[in-house]
Every structure is written in structure tokens, then in C-alpha cells.
Amino acid sequence: MSNSNEKIIQSASQKTELLFRNPNSRPTEQELAKAKIAQQLSLTCEKPRQGKRIFALYQLFSYYFFRSETKSFIAFKIIEISNKLAEKYRENISLINEYIKTTGTSNIADLKNYISYINNKDLVEFREGEEQINFFKQLLYYYDQRQSGKVNISAATTKLNIAALKKIEEEAFECWLRLLDINYELRNTIIGAENRKALYYLSEKYVDLHTIIDGIKKETFKDLEKYRESTVKEYYDIMSYFSLPSNKLLDFRLFVQKKLESRMYEAQFLKLPAGNTINNDIALLNNNCKELKRQYLLSLKEISSIVNHYKEIIIRYQTFFTGEIDKMISYIKESYVNLMNILFKKLHESKTFLSLKPIKFESSDLEVVLQLEKEKIEQEISKLKSKYSSILIPLISSIDSEMERVESKYCFNLSFAKSQCSSLQSLQNETIKAFVSRFKEEKDKVEKNIKQKQKILEDFEKTMLEDTNHLVNQLKEECNTLCSDLLRENQYFWAKFNSEFNSESRKYFVRLYYEYAPFISSWNDGENGWMYEYLILKLNSEYLRKIGSTVKHYSPEGKLHEKAARLIESYSNFFRNVNLQRDEVELDSLLKLNTIPKVDYSKVEEKLNKSLEDLKSAHVEFTELISKILNS
């Protein structure tokens, strides 16, 4: 029996191993036996399996967390691009080293062609990445300046930044909302996993307890049978010492029999006081739990009234500031309307001036001016052609050389060579298309200037009218953008503020609940908490110990009660520790659930600087490798 007790005491240390064992391993005979007993006792004895889900939710939480604020969202855009470009540089370094390792440096011409190919194949990606990094850096600077109320950038750049920032703010707000959903899902999954783990531990422990007590009961039945046999033997031994007349023998036999049986009756009688004591203790425990529930409801009512009071204050402030925003928007619209009226007034004055002193160019003069402008345009377009030719010609040449190298190297593996050449041809076409598109954009800008000047010279009044209408439309767009931005920022501010207030207020309810929950709340509705069950176990253990110590001199069942008392006490302590840990995890998860995650930008900035430094070092390593090879 001592071995059985040691097993149940040691089982707690073995739980973790059983819980996280390889799911593909076959269960042992002991585990199968436990599972069968658990099924008979209607116990849930399943291992929690939410580990992968929790890990995936943590990854999603991390992703959306760093993108839930505008500034960190922009920073992570830069980090993503930097990491991608740095990885591309390292990939190119690896390709060059691999080429040198397999081919050597004896053929300088082929080596230079290959390096030229490596240097040009990702040219578009590197240029676009560099432009995006610079743009997002500028946007980050603009955001900081705007937050501090200092914006010293040109109007055109400011307009571009406002549009980009608006889009990013909307995306960041969506990430923030998604983050709250994921945080809710994550914390509840952790709580669910902890509940399953607690049930698993307690079920296994209860099965151990049931198995051992069942074994003790069987041994006790054997002891009782032996005790009965010894009593019968004692009866006959006593009777063997006496020789009485038949008329007195029957009465004497009954006397001896009752005297021997009285020990068992006394043992049962001695249980009654202990039974009355435990009934009184349970009644007192129930009354205390009811009193705790009453105190909890009173405290809950007080906290609710305080929270509602501050909620009303917040609603008043929100209503006031929203009204002030509406007034500001009305003022802005009125100011823009006045500005438009000034423009139309100036247009009318200009038209009147032109009607008195018409300005008109002779056709010959107009042709001379336009011819001069065309020559300037042609020069600029010629420079553009030269610029893009200096990029495209080496690029096409390097890719063609690489295709020739592949065809020569894999001449006996035509399918592979064809596949490689097809990929290279696709890369060449995409790269040429990207640079041609850029050339056309710059060319269109240059040609647009001369068309604009021609319009002014041919019909100044019409151009002036079109420009005025264009300015008015721009003002309307700016006005609408500014007003919508104010409304959007007001909406975002109050959405986040109310969310933070609700989260902080719920923390008080959570902490209050977890002060009383062990006594007044259970997983099953209408039942008291786990602390009530724990105290009932303690009372039963004490009850059995008292009975055991009292009746052990009269009956073998005294040992059964004492052993059962020790086992139940061991189980009750284990039960308490498991529930305390479960409550601790649940409280921590609920507090985190009701905490609005906030980004520590210093950590983001540290990661941003590291990413840019990695990109710089990768670029330097790549250029130094090329220089070293070409100069050797």
C-alpha cells in the first residue's frame, strides 16, 4: 500500500511528460486502464491540443500589433522593403561565389558578362525599392512634423503625403481593429487550453485516487473477513472453557455473541458525533458562501455606478468636441468658399483688363516661340533617350550573354536550358517594359509643358479660365479632404479612447470577480466555486481521519478511513494547486484581453535602424565583391 501512496504523490511530477508526449506514440497499458476507468466515471480525460493554434495566433498578434499605429506601420513598410533588398543582395553574392567556385576565374570575359547579368537582372527591383524607402522615410518625417505642428514641405509634396498618410492611417486603424479581435481570440484560446489542462490533470489524479481507494477497500473487505473469522474462533475458544447446563447454555451463548459483536456496534455508534460535526461545518460553509456572494454583488453594484458616472462624463465630452469639430468644418468650408469667390473675382477683373487691352501674338511670332520651345523639348527628350539607353543596352546585352552561357552549358539538357532561357527572356521583357514605361512617363511630362505653353500663347483668356476652374476644383478637393480627415481623426480618437476606457473599467470587474470567484462561481451554473469544493474535501478528509482514529481499535475499517483521509488530503492539495494555477492564467489572460496593446516605438526604431544597416552592409559587400573580381 505504501507503494500505491508513493505513486499518487509522484504522479503530479509525471503529468507534464504525459501531457506533451508525442501524439503518434501508442498508449501504455496503464494509460488504457486509466482511460477505461475515466469512461466508467464519466470523466473527460483529453489532453489539450491548442498548442499550434495558440502559436499561430501569437504570430498574427505580433504581425498586426506592429502595424496597429501609423508611425510603426510606416516603419515596418521600410523594414519589409529593406529586408527584401538585403536578401536579394545576399542571393546575388551567393550566385557570384557559386559561379566562381564551379567555373573559376580563368575566363575573364565570361566572368564579367555574368557579373554584368547579376548586376542588371534586379535593377528595376532595386530602383523601385530605393524610391519606396526614400518615400516612406519622407512620409515618416512628414508624420513627425505634422504631429508636432511643423510642416515645412512644398505644397505638392504635402498633398502627396496627405493622400498617402490617409491611406496608411486607414490601414493602420483596420490593423488595430483586427488586433483587438485576434487578442480576444488568443486570450480565450489560452484560457480554454488552461481549462482543458486543469480538467486533464484533475481527471488523471481522480482516476489514481479512485483506483487506490478501490484497492484499499478490497483489502479492507479481506481484513473484515479475517476479523469475522477471528471473532468466530474467539467465540468457540471462550465456549470451550465453560461447561454449563443446557437450560443456561443458550443464554450464555447469546451473551458471549453480543459481547463480541458489540465492538462493531460501538464502532458504528462512534461515527455519529463526527457525522453531526461535518454536517454543521458544511452548513456554516454554505452560509459563508452566501454572505460572500452578497458582498460581491454589493461591490459589483458600487463599481458599476462609478464606471457609469465616468462614462456619462465621457459621452458629454465626446458630444461637445464632436460639435466643435462640426463648427470647425463649417468655418473651413466658408473660408474655402470665400477663397473661390476671390479667384472668380480676380478672373473677372483679368477678363475686363484683357477686353480693354487685348494681348494677341502674330502667327509668325507664335511659330518662332513654339519652334524654340520644341527645340528645348527635343533636347530634353534626347537626354532622356540617352539616359535610358545607357541603362537598357547593357542590361539587354548582359541577359543575352547569360542566355548564351546557359545554352552552351546545358546543351545536352535541352529541356532545362529551354526553361532557364524562358525565365531569362521573361525577366528581360519585364525589365524592358518597366524602364520603357518610366521613359514614357518622363517624356509625357516634358511634352505636356510645351502643350501648356502653346495653349497660353494661342488663347490666353481661355487658358486663364481653365486654370481658374482647375484651381477651384483643387480647392474643393482640398476642402473635402481636410473636412473628411477631421471627421475621420475624430472618429478614430473616440473609438480608441472609448475602447481604452471600457478595457480599463473591465479590469476592475475582472479583479473583483477573481477575488470572489473561487467561492461563489463555478463552471457549472448555480454551483459554488472550486474553493468550496476544496474545503468540502478538507472537511471530508478531517471527518475520515477522526473516524479512523476513533474506530481503529474496534474495527479494521478504521485503517481504511485513515488511509482514505490521507489520500483525499493529497488530492485536495493537488486540486487546490491546479485551480490556483488555472485562475492565475485566466486572470492574466483576461487582464491582457482588456489591455489595449500599445507599440513601444523605440523598439520599432531600433529594428528599423538595424534593417537599414543590414541593407547598407549587404550593398557594400556586393559592390566590394564585384570591384575585387573586376580589378583582380
Cell numbers that stand for 146 in this block: 505634422
Q: Where are the alpha helices (DSSP H) in 245-362?
A: 246-356
Judge contact between 286 and 448, C-beta under 8 A.
Answer: no
For cell 483506483, the residue is 211
Residue 368 CB neighbours (<10 A) = 12
Judge contact between 292 and 519, C-beta under 8 A.
Answer: yes
Tell me, what's the pLDDT at 343? Answer: 82
Sign of the dihedral defined by the CA atoms of residues 8, 13, 16, 17, in that order = negative
Tell me the CA end-to-end span of the chain in Å, nearest whole number: 84
The CA-based dihedral angle spanning residues 333, 338, 340, 346, taken in that order and rounded to the nearest 10 degrees: -170
With CA atoms as reference, report the closest residue to 630 among 115, 41, 16, 91.
115
Tell me, what's the pLDDT at 323? Answer: 93
Angle between helices 108-121 and 123-147 (to 10 degrees): 40
Judge contact between 375 and 415, C-beta under 8 A.
Answer: no
In angstroms, the CA 158 to CA 261 distance is 104
Judge contact between 404 and 109, C-beta under 8 A.
Answer: no
* Residues sharing a CB contact under 8 Å with residue 417, sequence separation 6 or more, in sequence order: 406, 407, 409, 410, 411
In angstroms, the CA 124 to CA 130 distance is 10
Judge contact between 575 and 534, C-beta under 8 A.
Answer: yes
The two most distant CA atoms of the chain are separated, in Å, by 166
Judge contact between 460 and 354, C-beta under 8 A.
Answer: yes
Helix H or strand E segment including 63: helix 51-65
Judge contact between 140 and 74, C-beta under 8 A.
Answer: yes
In angstroms, the CA 337 to CA 379 distance is 43
Cell numbers that stand for 622 in this block: 556586393
With CA atoms as reference, report the closest residue to 436 among 391, 406, 405.
391
Sign of the dihedral defined by the CA atoms of residues 398, 404, 409, 415, in that order = positive
- Residue 104: left (phi > 0), alpha (psi -120 to 50), or beta? left
In angstroms, the CA 11 to CA 6 distance is 9
With CA atoms as reference, report the closest residue to 89 among 569, 611, 507, 559.
611
Judge contact between 532 and 519, C-beta under 8 A.
Answer: yes
Residue 590, class by beta-carbon neighbours within 10 Å (0-12 exposed, 13-18 middle, 19+ buried)?
buried
- Ranges under pLDDT 50 in the chain: 1-23
With CA atoms as reference, report the closest residue to 294 among 43, 2, 572, 516.
516
In angstroms, the CA 236 to CA 234 distance is 5
Helix H or strand E segment including 594: none
Tell me, what's the pLDDT at 5? Answer: 41
For the chain, what's the residue count?
632
Judge contact between 201 and 596, C-beta under 8 A.
Answer: no
Tell me, what's the pLDDT at 17? Answer: 36
Q: Where are the alpha helices (DSSP H) in 521-600?
A: 530-551, 557-593
Cell numbers that stand for 468 in this block: 481658374
Q: How far is CA 107 from the centre of its chain?
A: 54
* Residues sharing a CB contact under 8 Å with residue 483, sequence separation 6 or more, in sequence order: 329, 332, 333
The CA-based dihedral angle spanning residues 152, 157, 158, 163, taken in that order and rounded to the nearest 10 degrees: -160
Cα 490–492–498 angle (5° rounding)?
Answer: 100
- Residue 42: left (phi > 0), alpha (psi -120 to 50), or beta? left
Tell me, what's the pLDDT at 79? Answer: 94
Sign of the dihedral defined by the CA atoms of residues 157, 163, 166, 167, in that order = negative
Residue 594 CB neighbours (<10 A) = 21
Q: For 262-275, write each residue's pLDDT tens digit.
A: 555 555 555 666 66
The predicted model scores a pTM of: 0.72
In angstroms, the CA 252 to CA 140 distance is 109
Query: Which 8-state DSSP code applies to residue 106?
Result: S
Tell me, what's the pLDDT at 171? Answer: 92
Judge contact between 114 and 405, C-beta under 8 A.
Answer: yes
